Amino acid sequence: MTHSELSVLCKSCKINPVALTRFPPLACGDSETGKSANHLITSLLSSASGYSNYRGILNWCVVMLVLSNARLFLENIIKYGILVDPIQVVSLFLKDPYSWPAACLIIVSNVFILAALYIERRLAVGTISETTGLILHLFNLTSLLIFPSASVLTVTSITPVGGVLSLGTYTVLFLKLYSYMDSNKWCREIRQAKSNGSAVNTNVSYPGNLTHRDMYYFIFAPTLCYQLNFPRSPRIRKRFLIRRLFEMVPNHLIWLIFFYWFFHSSLNFVAELLQFGDREFYRDWWNSETVTYFWANWNIPVHKWCLRHFYKPMLRKGVNKFLAQTAVFLASAFFHEYLVSVPLKMFRLWAFMGMMAQVPLALFVSRFLNGNYGNAAVWISLIIGQPIAVLMYVHDYYVIHYGSTT
């Protein structure tokens, strides 16, 4: 600063030039923030500050979780030694090294995928009627649920882990192929309404979408709702891809970390590989003040499917809103029980009853609890409800398989 500039600054602030040279940041303001020394400043942790970047605190929580679990791991190793045979752990996934029934079951799912594609091709050219196509689709979708469950129940070499993986795959395919059927039906209706041979004026138009490439892109895309033209990113970012890949290694400590591993790391990894542009896999469910908000925001792909193909069609048919919401929970309860009971080969309905219990819980929380109290109720239901259901299945499974030997 020149002598003339210093003189002008001193006159405007009405201070002694000597004080300015000794304490320049305190005389007229903070040189780093640019704010006056007399300006009211709110502490960052105060709600009035508007500050919301707590990434460092989140990282601290993750580090503490890792360190605390590592401490428990080391203490157990020192006190008890290695109690689990690694070969037995591997055999849980691969019971017979020469026969992988769960993997074979997943490969067979291509039959149902191709069946849906060829049914739509016949519908597009008019060789089969809409009624015949609907019957064939419903038969294909019903078989998609019955065939894997029957295989898991009858093939003794399929382990519970293999059963969960295969049934999870078939459940996702069921939701995808149902959306595929519905969306192509809408395209045919639009084409008939416009009577110009094209459903929509976009990059891909119906029936040009009925290809193997389009079908399998949808099958692998991290979405359950089909559309002719998905939003696409301009390129695959290798650095982003590597970060998501490495994030899938350590994040298996608790349910919250599983959520981050699957909905953030894994789905973003797949989306980046496929240049899939819609990355809204979750919203701020951790701020849920009602149970319904939690279920609508923690799993966006499933929520979008339920809205598009189940909830809104029921409302359009005149079904009461509460009954439609209850029906959605009923369908969700069925699939939760389907994915647990069939692989374990026992039917206890704990998952089903746990999901249906969400309906009265949602009514209670929305009516009597608000704000932080509602958010606390949601967290309590997550912290207590899910572990209880898991423990019930573990208890029953142990009694059935090992109770007679003790």
Determine the pLDDT at residue 344. 87
pLDDT band with cut points at 50, 70 and 90 for residue 307: very high
Encoding tokens for residue 15? 């201070």
Contact criterion met (CB below 8 Å) for 75 and 67: no
Could you say which DSSP state residue 266 is in? I
Among the ranges given (20-24, 147-151, 165-169, 193-197), the one the predictor scored with the smallest mean pLDDT: 20-24
For residue 211, give Cα distances in angstroms to 66, 93, 109, 114, 174. Answer: 46, 35, 18, 10, 19
Tokens 């791991």, residue located: 73
- Partners of 99 in the beta sheet? 96
Give the whole-angstrom CA distance, residue 123 versus residue 198: 15
- Partners of 23 in the beta sheet? none
DSSP letter for each residue of 171-194: HHHHHHHHHHHHHHHHHHHHHHHH
Contact criterion met (CB below 8 Å) for 4 and 17: no
Encoding tokens for residue 68? 């605390």
Buried b (16+ CB within 10 A) or exposed e, 365-392: beeebeeeebbebbeebbeeeeeebeeb
Determine the pLDDT at residue 124. 92
Cα angle 270, 272, 276; round to 5? 90
Q: What is the pLDDT of residues 66-110, one digit of tens each?
A: 777 777 778 777 877 776 666 665 665 555 544 678 888 999 999
- Amino acid residing at 355: M
Give the whole-angstrom CA distance, residue 188 versus residue 198: 9
Contact criterion met (CB below 8 Å) for 288 and 375: yes
Q: What is the pLDDT of residues 260-294, one digit of tens each?
A: 888 888 898 988 898 888 888 988 888 888 998 99
Tokens 């990282």, residue located: 59
Give the whole-angstrom CA distance, residue 115 versus residue 128: 14
φ, ψ at 8 (rounded to 5°): -60, -45
pLDDT band with cut points at 50, 70 and 90 for residue 22: very low
**Among all residues, which ones are annotated catalytic?**
336
Q: What is the pTM of this model?
A: 0.69
Encoding tokens for residue 240? 């982003």
Cα angle 18, 20, 23; round to 5? 110
Q: For residues 42, 47, 52 and 57, what is the CA-based torsion angle, rounded to 10 degrees?
A: 90
Encoding tokens for residue 74? 């080391």
Number of other residues whose CB lies within 10 A of the CB of residue 107: 10
